[in-house]
Structure 1
Amino acid sequence: MFFYLTMLNLTKYLSEVCPIISPNEQDVTTLGALEAWKHGDFLCRNYILNCLVNSLYNVYCNIESAKQLWESLEKKYKTEDAGTKKFVVAKFLDYKMVDSKSVMSQVQELQLILSDISAKGMILSESFQVAAMIEKLPPGWLDFKNYLNHKQKEMSLEDLILRLRIKEDNRRSANPSSESKANVVESSKSKQDRKRKMSFQGKGKQKEQF
C-alpha cells in the first residue's frame, strides 16, 4: 500500500496535518494551496479505504484525515503482528522431540516453525538454529546429542540434518523393531483419531434420524 501511495505521490499526507490559515485569509495563492492539500488528503484517504475489506471499511470510514487513518491501521496491525510473533516464538520454545516419532519428521516440523519465525522478520543465526535443534533431540538420542555438543568444528544446518538422517538410518538398520514400534505408535494414534471422528459422525446421523 505504501509503495502504491508513493507511486501516486501521496505519501506526504500520511504524516502531514492540514495547514491552518486565518479565517480572514484572502490571499488566492494561500487559499488555493489549502484546497490542493485537502484534495490530496481526500485522495490518499480514499485510496487507503478502498483497499480495506468491507468490515474494516465500516470501522475506519469516519476517520477524517489520511494521517489519522494510516496511524490507526498501523497501530492495529503492529499489535496483531506482535501477538503473532510471540505465538510462533512460543511454539518454537515449547517444541520437544519425542522417541515415538521419526526424528527426521520432527526436524521437518521444526524447520517449518523456524521458517515462520524468519517470515515474521525475526532473524536467527544458523549457529543458533543448529544448537537449538541439537538441544531438542529426544531422550533416546542423548549419546548422539552429547557427541554433537562436544564437536569442536562448527556445523551448518544442512550438515546437521544430513548427520541426523544418516544416524536415524543406521539406528533403523541396527534395531528395526524399535523403529517398527515407533511407527505402530503413530499408526495407532491416527487410527484412534479416525475412530473418534467416525463415532462422532455416526452419533450425529442417529440424532438426525430422530
Structure 2
Amino acid sequence: MLFYLTTLNLARFLKEDPPFIGEDEIDVQTQQAIDAWKHAEFLCRNYLLNGLSDTLYGVYSVKKTAKELWNSLDHKYKAEDAGAKKFLVGQFLNFKMVDSKNVISQVQELQLIIHGIHAEGMVLSESFQVGAIIEKLPPAWKDFKNYLKHKRKEMSVEDLILRLRVEEDNQGNEKRTLNPNAAKANLMEHDRGSKGKNPKHKQGPKLGPKGGIAKKPKFQGKCFNCGKMGHKSSE
C-alpha cells in the first residue's frame, strides 16, 4: 500500500497534518491550496480504506484523516509482527530432531524457521546456525555430533549439510550390510504366501476312485495251510 500511494504522489499525507491557517490570513490562493490539500488527503484516506477487507473497513472508517488511519493500522500490524517474532524464536528453540525421520529433511525444516527469523530482521550468524544444527541432531547421531564439535575448522551451512548427507548415506549402507538376509526372507515369505500352500506340508491319505479312503483288498480264497476261507496266504 505504501508503494502504491507513493506512485500516486500521496504517501506524504500519511505523515502530514492538515495545514493551520488563521482566519485573517485566508485569501483566494490560500483557500485554493487548502482545498487541493484536502482533496488529495481525501483520496489518500479512501485508497487506504479501499484496500481493507469489509470487516476491517467497518472498524477503521471512523478515522478522520489518512495519517490517523495509517498510524492505527501500523500500530496493529507492528504488534502482530512482534508476536510473530516471538513465535519464530520459540519454534527455533523448541525444535528437536528425532531418529524416526530423515535427518536432511529435518535440517531443511529448521532452515525454513531460520529464514523466517531473518525475514523478521533478527539476524543469526552462519557459525551460530551451524552450531545449532549440530546441537539439534537426533540421539542416534551422538558419536557424529561429538566428532563435528571437535573439528577446529569453521564450516558453512552448506558444508555441514553435505557432511550430514554423506553420513546418512553411510549409515543406510551399514544397516543393509549388517542385515543382508532381511530382503531374502521377505521375498521367500511373499513367494510362500502367493502359492497358497507350503510344499513341505504332508499330504493326507489317498482317496479311492469313488472318493473314499482306499483300503487293501481282503483275500477271498482258501488258505493253503488250514483250508479256511478269507485268510491271507503266507505268500
TM-score category (smaller protein): 0.7 to 0.9
- CA-CA distance at 1:177 after TM superposition: 9.6
Deviations 1:125-145, CA, capped at 9 Å, x for gaps: 222111110011112212211
Task: Return the alpha-carbon distance in structure 2 between the equivalents of residues 23 and 54 of structure 1.
Answer: 40
Write the deviation string for residues 97-156 of structure 1: whole angstroms up to 9, x where unpaired. 122322222112212222222333333222211111001111221221111111111111
Change (3 A) 1:119 1:26: closer
CA–CA distance in structure 2, aligned partners of residues 68 and 113 of structure 1: 35
Amino acid at match of 1:50: N
Unaligned runs of 5+ in 1: 179-210
Aligned CA distance change for structure 1 residues 177 and 21 (closer, same or farther; 3 Å): farther
1:145 aligns with 145
Pairwise CA RMSD: 2.0
Match of 1:131 in 2: 131
Q: Distance in 2 between matches of 1:177 and 1:102?
A: 19
Measure the CA separation in 1 of the matches of 2:25 and 2:120: 50
Give the Cα separation in 2 of the matches to 1:108 and 1:12.
43
Change (3 A) 1:26 1:167: closer
Query: 3-state SS of the aligned residue for 1:98?
Result: coil
Runs (4+) of structure 1 moved beyond 4 Å? none
Q: Which amino acid aligns with 2:151?
A: K
The normalised TM-score by structure 1 is 0.79
Structure 1 match to 2:84? 84
TM-score after normalising by structure 2: 0.71
Whether the 8 Å contact between 1:95 and 1:136 is mirrored in structure 2 is yes
Partner of 1:110: 110
Query: Number of paired residues?
Result: 179
Q: Give 1:63 shift.
A: 0.5
**Residue 135 of structure 1 contacts residue 145 of structure 1 at CA under 8 Å; is this kept in 2?**
yes
Give the secondary-structure state (helix, strand or coil) at the position aligned to 1:151.
coil
8 Å contact kept, 1:25–1:31? no
CA distance in 2, matches of 1:90, 1:136: 14
SS of the aligned residue for 2:22 comes to coil
Q: How high is the sequence identity, in percent, across the aligned residues?
A: 62
The equivalences for 1:44-193 within 5 A come to 44-176=44-176
Mapped to 1, the partners of 2:16 and 2:112 lie a distance apart of 42
> C-alpha offsets along residues 16-37 of structure 1, whole Å, 9 cap, x if unaligned?
1111222454411222221111
Distance (Å, rounded) in 2 between the aligned partners of 1:26 and 1:111: 62
Paired position in structure 1 for 2:8: 8
The answer to whether the aligner puts 1:22 opposite 2:25 as a matched pair is no
CA distance in 2, matches of 1:177, 1:130: 31
The secondary structure found in structure 1 opposite 2:153 is: coil
Larger-Rg structure: 2
